[in-house]
Amino acid sequence: MPHVSDRDTACTSASILLARVLLSLPFLYSGIDKVRHWAAAQREVTASGLPCPTLLHTLTVLVQLGAGLSVLIGVEARVGALLLCLFLAPVTLLYHPFWKRSGPDFVAEADHFLLNGAVVGGLLMIVALGSGRIGVIDHPLVKLFGQSMAAIGTGP
């Protein structure tokens, strides 16, 4: 019979893997869809009024696919999750401003806003925990980015 801590470790590893799969799928799907329907996605970015729509569209696809695969496969999942957080936060503010809506639009936008917040929360768990035992390569962010990451949040 396996030791309790071995079972807990296996359960934790499987849970982190499942979380990585579930958190990466929307980004991978969206990135693939933006490639498959390039012109329509390009029009959406242009309609948002943001500058350099072609550049932003291309960067969006690269972040969604690159960071999404990073989280899914577990290759520097912490970095991939952090990139997805940094991508999703401004996108959520720009594309789901529920505070500017009313009625059913308010409810729909608030729902999208809160769901994106939940995804950011899940991604932050990956940033904190890494890819778990079922991953390829995953270094703590402090090791990757040096001591400047360790200084974040510390006072003088």
**pLDDT on residue 145:** 66
* Confidence band, pLDDT 50/70/90 cuts, at residue 150: very low
**pLDDT on residue 46:** 92
* The token pair that represents 137 in the structure block: 């390569």
Query: What's the whole-model pTM score?
Result: 0.82
Nearest CA to 131 out of 85, 64, 72, 87 is that of 72
Mean pLDDT of 2-10: 65
**pLDDT on residue 153:** 45
DSSP one-letter string for 47-94: HTT-S-HHHHHHHHHHHHHHHHHHHHHTBSHHHHHHHHHHHHHHHHHH
**For the segment 96-145, what is each residue's pLDDT rounded down to a tens digit?**
999 999 999 999 999 999 999 999 999 999 999 888 888 878 777 766 66
**For the segment 9-55, what is each residue's pLDDT rounded down to a tens digit?**
888 888 999 999 999 999 999 999 999 999 999 999 999 888 999 99
**pLDDT on residue 132:** 87
In angstroms, the CA 131 to CA 133 distance is 7
* The token pair that represents 10 in the structure block: 């296996």
DSSP 137: B
Angle between helix 53-73 and 77-95 (nearest 10): 140
CA 121 to chain centre: 9
**pLDDT on residue 152:** 47
- The domains of the chain are located at 4-151
Instruction: With beta carbons less than 8 A apart as the criterion, state whether 16 and 131 touch.
Output: yes
**pLDDT on residue 116:** 97
**pLDDT on residue 5:** 64
Identify the bridge partners of residue 75 per DSSP, sorted by sequence position: 137
